Amino acid sequence: MASRQKMRLSDRGLTEAAVLIPIFCKDGEHHILFTQRSDQVPHHKGQISFPGGARSEGDVSLLDTALRESWEEIGLEAKDAEILGELDETPTTTSSFNISPFVAFIPHPYQFTLNPYEINQIFSVPVSALLYKANKREEYYTFDSQVFVNYSYEYEGWVIWGATARIVQQFLEVWQSASGAQ
Per-domain boundaries in the chain: 15-131
Q: Is the pLDDT of residue 119 over 60?
A: yes
Q: Is the pLDDT of residue 8 over 80?
A: no
Strand pairing class (52-54; 119-126): unpaired
- Segment 51-56 shows an average pLDDT of 95
pLDDT grade for 175, boundaries at 50, 70 and 90:
very high
The pLDDT, as a whole number, for residue 6 is: 47
- Segment 64-72 shows an average pLDDT of 98
Of 77, 97, 70, 94, give the one whose Cα is nearest residue 12. Answer: 97
CA–CA dist 136, 146 (Å, integer)? 22
**Mean pLDDT over the full length of the chain:** 90
What's this model's pTM, rounded to 2 decimal places? 0.89
Partners of 31 in beta bridges: 24, 126
pLDDT grade for 11, boundaries at 50, 70 and 90:
low
Partners of 159 in beta bridges: 154
The pLDDT, as a whole number, for residue 42 is: 60
Strand pairing class (97-105; 15-26): parallel
Q: Is the pLDDT of residue 182 over 70?
A: no
Instruction: Report DSSP state, residue 28.
Output: T
The pLDDT, as a whole number, for residue 83 is: 98
CA–CA dist 66, 102 (Å, integer)? 7
The pLDDT, as a whole number, for residue 1 is: 47
Of 140, 148, 19, give the one whose Cα is nearest residue 88. Answer: 19
CATH number attached to the domain at 15-131: 3.90.79.10
